[in-house]
């Protein structure tokens, strides 16, 4: 074992909290993406920031890689251990430490999930808005700068973080900010660590903004004759300043997949899923304005609901698309990718991507958090077919190139991890040198989640 001395020191400190069992190592060496699993040498189940600090200090002493782990829901190989090392699982750190209702902020440990936080807040009239669509830990969401369906109104994880407690690569514990809503004091360390994907330190606690639950919520669906009509409606909605909470687009093949998977009878056409929130009068006005816009672009079959049961029913298709797509190709490998472009280029980017997909041997559904120009493809390929696997890779690269050329980014949500390091080089160019300097300054021995984000 290359890190035998480090493992011996970790065992002496942590005893039963440390596992060397292969099944547990394998479970912590893969995420929900399509990347090959790479197990660490050991897994530590941390119970406190002190545990994390002691573990990182030992790893630093013996130059053992450290891989932070939350819920394992990432898609770009963030939790794989290509060089072995120690995975620190923070999912047991589940305490909600302090709630400040008047100031609308909360302090949590990194292992708290967004669902658990919102369940705790339900009777307080507050909620946490970032919704990536899976049961993620808040520490992992900060580390990957998570986003989701509510980002068009509330922003991404970046906009919700007030301060972080971080264990640095030497094992030192630091606080990056305060509870104040703004500050001009020094470098913005909070947002340096947000999105760093565990390559600069381990996030152990977070102070987060909360928001008031709207007095009224209403969800709706609207079908369109083609993707262009749907994306034109989205662009007009944003340009008009209609305060939509969510606006999601599923293409025709996505609806077909959902119907086959769930036995539903949705009209198979490009479909917008929307949600509005606010005062009853405000929501009614938003619905009326949106309806006029949609009709002028060719929208039809517009339905809205304002009770939770019907809202959940409407969103069911959107939330089950991943599994519906998977069911279309039993035994095939599924790869989900994403890009984000300026809203004015969304229609062009999606239409050209759909054209590429139609001219390839790959089956793929397409969906988007289109209110902020972010969309995904869920591609299926036979892992034993060299032709299909090569075609899937080429489609992904073409989509990313197109987005970057349109002034966009190689990833709006998924992050870089192992899977998009080459794309980061395409996008950032000479700025990568500065990123490497920051990485070297904060992690001189390169132990923090090595093999991720920055290209070799």
Note whether 353 and 314 are same-domain residues.
no
Q: What are phi and psi of 384, to 5 degrees?
A: -95, 0
231: burial class by Cβ within 10 Å (0-12, 13-18, 19+)?
buried
Residue 26 lies in a domain: yes
Note whether 245 and 208 are same-domain residues.
no
Note whether 106 and 134 are same-domain residues.
yes
Domain-terminating residue out of 290, 322, 354: 322
Note whether 118 and 142 are same-domain residues.
yes
- 116 in Cβ contact with 93 (< 8 Å): no
- 94 in Cβ contact with 204 (< 8 Å): no
Q: Which residues pair with 86 in a beta bridge?
A: 42, 66
Q: Report the C-alpha gap between 109 and 94 in whole angstroms.
A: 6
Note whether 69 and 117 are same-domain residues.
no
Residue 70 lies in a domain: yes
Residue 399 is part of a domain; what is its CATH number? 3.30.70.2740
Beta strands in 281-388 (DSSP E): 300-305, 333-340, 363-369, 374-381
- Give the helix ranges, DSSP H, for 66-211: 114-121, 138-143, 151-154, 157-160, 189-193
Note whether 205 and 227 are same-domain residues.
no
Residue 315 is part of a domain; what is its CATH number? 3.30.70.2190
R_g (Cα) of the chain, nearest Å: 22
Residue 448 lies in a domain: no
Range of the domain at 51: 4-89
Residue 373 lies in a domain: yes
- Residues 323-352: b if buried by 16+ CB within 10 A, e if exposed: ebbbebbeebbbbbbbbbbebebbbebbee
Residue 445 lies in a domain: no
DSSP 344: G
Note whether 265 and 290 are same-domain residues.
yes
Q: Which residues pair with 108 in a beta bridge?
A: 96, 206
Which of 24, 31, 29 has its CA nearest to residue 415?
A: 31
Note whether 334 and 396 are same-domain residues.
yes
How far CA 210 is from CA of 110, 147, 385, in Å, comes to: 16, 15, 48
| Per-residue pLDDT in tens (0 to 9) along the chain, 456 residues | 689 999 999 999 999 999 999 999 999 999 988 788 999 999 999 999 999 999 999 999 999 999 999 999 998 999 999 999 999 999 999 999 999 999 999 999 999 999 999 999 999 999 999 998 788 999 999 999 999 888 999 999 999 999 999 999 999 999 999 999 999 999 999 999 999 999 999 999 999 999 999 999 999 999 999 999 999 999 999 999 999 999 999 999 999 999 999 888 889 999 999 999 999 999 999 999 999 999 999 999 999 988 777 777 777 777 788 889 989 988 888 888 999 999 999 999 999 999 999 999 999 999 998 999 999 999 999 989 999 999 999 999 999 999 999 999 999 999 999 999 999 999 999 999 999 999 999 999 999 999 999 987
The structure tokens listed for 342 are 């300026």
Number of domains in the chain: 4
Q: Report the C-alpha gap between 308 and 315 in whole angstroms.
A: 11
- 218 in Cβ contact with 305 (< 8 Å): yes
Domain-terminating residue out of 212, 229, 246: 212
Domain-terminating residue out of 264, 293, 322: 322
Percent of the chain with pLDDT over 70: 100
Each residue's pLDDT tens digit, 161-207: 999 999 999 999 999 999 999 999 999 999 999 999 999 999 999 99
């Amino acid at each position: 074992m290359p890190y035998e001395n480090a493992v011996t020191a970790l065992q002496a400190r942590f005893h039963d909290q440390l596992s060397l069992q292969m099944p547990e190592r394998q479970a912590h060496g893969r995420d929900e993406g399509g990347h090959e699993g790479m197990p660490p040498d050991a897994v530590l189940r941390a119970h406190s920031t002190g545990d994390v600090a002691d573990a990182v200090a030992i790893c630093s002493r013996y130059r053992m890689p450290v891989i932070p782990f939350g819920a394992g829901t990432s898609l770009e190989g963030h939790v794989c251990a290509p060089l072995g090392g120690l995975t620190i699982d923070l999912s047991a750190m589940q305490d909600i430490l302090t709630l400040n209702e008047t100031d609308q902020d909360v302090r949590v440990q990194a292992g708290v999930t967004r669902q658990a936080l919102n369940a705790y807040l339900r009777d307080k009239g507050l909620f946490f808005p970032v919704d990536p669509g899976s049961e993620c830990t808040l520490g992992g969401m900060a580390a990957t700068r998570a986003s989701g369906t509510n980002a068009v109104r509330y922003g991404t994880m970046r906009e919700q973080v007030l301060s972080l407690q971080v264990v640095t690569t030497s094992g030192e514990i630091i606080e990056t900010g305060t509870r104040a809503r703004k500050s001009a004091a020094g470098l913005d360390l909070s947002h340096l660590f947000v999105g760093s994907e565990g390559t600069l330190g381990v996030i152990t606690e977070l102070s987060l903004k909360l928001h008031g639950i709207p007095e009224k919520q209403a969800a709706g669906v609207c079908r369109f004759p083609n993707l262009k009509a749907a994306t034109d409606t989205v662009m007009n909605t944003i340009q008009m300043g209609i305060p939509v909470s969510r606006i999601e687009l599923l293409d025709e093949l996505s609806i077909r997949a959902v119907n086959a998977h769930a036995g539903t009878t949705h009209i198979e056409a490009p479909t917008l899923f929307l949600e509005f929130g606010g005062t009853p009068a405000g929501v009614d006005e938003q619905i009326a304005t949106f309806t006029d816009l949609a009709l002028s672009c060719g929208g039809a079959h517009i339905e809205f609901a304002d009770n939770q049961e019907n809202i959940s029913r409407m969103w069911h298709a959107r939330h089950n698309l991943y599994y519906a797509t998977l069911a279309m190709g039993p035994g095939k490998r599924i790869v989900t990718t994403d890009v984000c472009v300026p809203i004015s280029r969304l229609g062009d980017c999606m239409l050209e991507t759909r054209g590429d997909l139609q001219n390839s041997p790959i089956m793929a559904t397409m969906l988007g958090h289109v209110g902020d120009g972010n969309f995904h493809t869920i591609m299926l390929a036979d892992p034993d077919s060299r032709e299909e696997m090569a075609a899937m890779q080429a489609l992904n690269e073409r989509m990313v190139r197109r987005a970057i050329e349109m002034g966009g980014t190689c990833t709006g949500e998924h992050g870089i991890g192992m899977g998009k390091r080459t794309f980061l080089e395409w996008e950032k160019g000479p700025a990568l040198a500065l990123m490497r300097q920051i990485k070297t300054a904060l992690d001189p021995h390169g132990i923090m989640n090595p093999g991720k984000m920055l290209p070799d």
